[in-house]
A and B are shown apart, each in its own frame.
Chain A
């Protein structure tokens, strides 16, 4: 087992704002990259670069082997088979692939697509369109005000009419986890197929597509310490094998004639054009990095940091936090508001101290409407964050209202 080492992440040590060290608390947007991942990408280009799946020469074979080894690493990480892993650009592309190549093929008027109110726009807009294109109805699972989904709600909304359930594993706004195993079991009883959006969960909790018996699962490499521009679609082979291609073109065919084409086997059928091989190899390196540290150590560290953050933030009377009270249920994500100060102003003011946090609707506008909020601030942590950084953040937050001329009951002046 590898111990957590912040020095693996060069950007965290070098970047400064106003000569202050960066405090990076926007890990739900994207994570920083360890040297191991940067080196893996560089090594591919230095030692194995050719166009995978095409070359009849040694270097081409080496490139193919590296690319397929990356696929194997991803498959093992998710507990899937190699031919159930398709490389895409990101979560959004993976969801759109399932929308076009599966949903549009099977949905009929009167069928229902079921999503939850927690969804990121990337797992929402494709289903609005799928409903529009096919005449199916889009329905929502609603949560309580903390984001918790009840069994009654699932049983009531997931019916014989439901043909597809697309649901997030962890909310990018509230950090809460959905009861995926119960949803998948119920969906299969009703004959529905389930797509799981792992974008926000995969860096914080172990994934087992086989044990869960899920049909599709998607994520982006950059949210789990991998490169940008590489994503994954997991699909059960039996399903993928029935689906037509999404994008068409090079290296996704078995034969082409002037007026006809035979498509390649899965997964090549869904990987048209030259692929991001270096990205796939970087992603595999990131997953190996996470495996070496182990989820046990990651969860322990991140829950400890979240508990420390929540204990501290609760001491500031002008701050309201959203989601569950239990730090263990937050999966690295905490949304909050500072009384009378718009979240964008909070984020701008914190930037003066070198602190990076998110402000806005977090690409989840229907959830914000449901919670009757316009915008929130969001802190999202990684195992590489420290308690010193949380202290620094809490001190900075205590000053925010003064910047806008409001009094504060907490008059702790630091180095402003």
Chain B
């Protein structure tokens, strides 16, 4: 039989957490930059830019993230004869994926700002980029915080898919430990618990932010 599940094995799981967090953080930052560009182009007055970004969003929202990961990982190898290590491949794949979702969330936030706000800025003769920067984006950012944090929670869990191409993050570490100890019913609940401990504080944060924004907007919830 295999090894027993002791402190060393638990430590191995704990040490995989930074990789899950690093991958999530990297994808949030990269995807955040990409998503901001997509959101802004998505509402731009230029139709070709709107089509392009809409197409991008539809593509990434309409396909499984696992396929996106495979296409990036094997695609780079096949197309460019480039054997990439798992880490840059998963980071790239999750950045592209996050960019589409964050772009769509923020597009909605920008469009939630009433049209007269644009008009008022326009009448002060602000140029389009300045209307966005000074008037629209600050207001859109405020209402986009809760769904953005919500997406971050989803992303942390979704990065577990990176295990499939052999990137050792928390889920992969759990698989490896299961292979050596044959104790899936101990290890996977622990892995799930560790995910929960990463996600729950973020969920609480999202709820608190939502209440605070409701308060500043004067919204009262009856449930």
Do A and B form a real pair? no
The interface of chain B, by Cβ under 8 A from chain A, is: none
